[in-house]
Amino acid sequence: MSNAPLMPKATAVWLVENTSLSFSQVADFCKLHELEVKAIADGEADQGIRGLDPITSGQITREEIERGQNNENYRLQLAVSKVRLPPMKPRKGPRYTPVSRRQDRPNAILWLVRNHPELKDSAIMRLVGTTKTTIAAIRDRTHWNAQNLTPSDPVTLGLCSQIDLDMEVAKGAKANPDAVLHKEEAEVDTLLPTEITTGEPERELDVQSVFAKLKQLKRDDEDDDGDDDRR
């Protein structure tokens, strides 16, 4: 259980208004700065905040508050919850995807299929919350909207986090290293030769021919000047 009460500022508002606890006691219990509690008491920081009674919410007992009011050095303790919640089990099955983003799932699946062939269908299902039927249709290009699909990163689309994607890719690479090797070989094969990417090499500059052209231009200019003088 957390050491701070639920809604600490609202709890601090109630304690300031309904008890004679010191600012330091309220600040310590609510895990706030003492100046924050003072601002609440002065009406500078509690605008719009409705006080929350920690007694009725079961976070502290009335006896505990009385102990604090009788002893300024006493530090209030949160009440121990009598309700024991069972531990959360990891969720199984596909991830839930909001309705507004479900139309982006086919694009994300296509991106995963193309860029991470090492991922199994179960991993793709966990990442974007889809079904094996949809994945198979996109792999086979039999999806009803296959012509209009555009590969899109599921992280950019907000369908999964980068951490989740990295974890699934790492698991897939470990379980299926051959797929990673084939992907790297395909990337190498698609690289263009240097002749195309850098263009044809430039020809070496002929210094003698350049000077010869400059001399010829100079002679032509002198001849033109001589003709102008005779005129």
pLDDT tens digits, one per residue of 21-76: 999 999 999 988 999 889 888 887 766 678 889 998 888 999 999 999 999 899 99
In a domain, 19, yes or no: yes
Burial annotation 144-173 (CB, 10 A radius, 16+ → b, else e): eeeeebeebebbebebbeeebbeebbeebb
In a domain, 40, yes or no: yes
Tell me the pLDDT tens digit for each residue of 167-214: 888 888 888 777 655 655 555 455 455 554 455 444 555 666 766 776
pLDDT > 70? residue 9: yes
Q: What is the rounded CA–CA span in Å between residue 162 and residue 168?
A: 10
- Please tell me the pTM assigned to this model: 0.41
| Residue 58 sits in the same domain as residue 114 | no
Percent of residues, the chain, with pLDDT higher than 70: 66
| Residue 47 sits in the same domain as residue 123 | no
What is each CA distance from 93 to 6, 86, 102, 127, 164, in whole angstroms? 32, 20, 16, 10, 15
Burial annotation 12-37 (CB, 10 A radius, 16+ → b, else e): bbbbbeebebbbebbbbbbebeeebb
What is the four-CA torsion angle of 65, 67, 71, 74, rounded to 10 degrees?
A: -80
Closest by CA position to 107, among listed 134, 80, 132, 79 = 134
In a domain, 208, yes or no: no
In a domain, 66, yes or no: yes
Q: How many CB atoms lie within 10 A of CB 187?
A: 9
- Give the position of tokens 């052209």: 213
| Residue 168 sits in the same domain as residue 108 | yes
* Residue 30 belongs to domain spanning: 8-70
| Residue 65 sits in the same domain as residue 119 | no
With bands split at pLDDT 50, 70 and 90, how would you rate the model's confidence at 158? Answer: confident
In a domain, 41, yes or no: yes
In a domain, 143, yes or no: yes
What is each CA distance from 162 to 3, 104, 124, 167, 184, in whole angstroms? 31, 17, 14, 9, 21
Q: How confident is the model at residue 174, as a pLDDT?
A: 85
| Number of domains present in the structure of the chain | 2
